[in-house]
Amino acid sequence: MQVKLADSYGFCFGVKRAIKIAEENPSSHTIGPLIHNPKEIDRLWNNYKVDVVEDIDRLQPSERAIVRTHGIEKEKLQSLKDKNLDVIDATCPYVTKPQEIVASMSAEGYDIVIFGDIQHPEVKGVMSYATTMVHVVMTCEELESVRLREKIAIVSQTTKREEDFLKIVDYLVGRYKEVRVFNTICNATFDNQSAAKKLAGEVDVMLIIGGKNSSNTKQLYEICRQNCPDSYLIEGAEDIKSEWFSGKKLCGITAGASTPDWIVQDVISSVSRI
């Protein structure tokens, strides 16, 4: 089986930075999973004894706490500091930006619209910086029943598709007098999505590697599936099924922003042997 990699895939700047922080601080605790990739979380525990803590009340003063790449709620961050923990903030700078925008726009009296998944930790963190009304939506239809004031500011979850974000923007601009638009979609996400879309149109079968709880990986999968019906989301080589490749000649491979290269190489080796 021939294999072709996407031109842009895998670890983004924010994830590389967070992994480096964790490796440089062994025996520390991440507040929630540092990134959305179970295999890499296991590696950090096995090699560096960096564990995952959801309940911050478990932590004792002077212990080292690492804030996840997706960020955490403003109040939870303050609680960590109040407990006199050694807090290291590994929040991706691209995630910090919408937090700052929401705080600033709220202070100026703007209602906030966030394009994203309300259950995602990044969105929960961004929401916590609003002091005015905040609405999280995934579609224009969700805005139809929402009452907004005349001043609106909109940001996006960093891993969303730009074309979907622009649909929400167009809806708001056509109905409200003042809409401040902040495109907070990460450049690396956009590059990975564009490369995945291009490659999916060229191959017989497509593999998307990443944590199944990863937002940006699921976005990649949806993009690939639209352009290559035989697209499969896997976390590692062990998920591969040989029947996927029956009658196929060229396999495309991409990976989410939280997928380390060692997993990508394992998958390439497994597919090449089919």
Residues forming the active site: 122
Closest CA to 6 of 212, 222, 256: 256
- Sign of torsion over alpha carbons 91, 257, 16, 28: positive
Q: What is the DSSP string of 8-54?
A: S-S--HHHHHHHHHHHTSTT-EEES-SSS-HHHHHHHHHHH--EEES
- Sign of torsion over alpha carbons 220, 226, 227, 232: positive
- Residue 253: count other Cβ atoms within 10 Å of its Cβ: 22
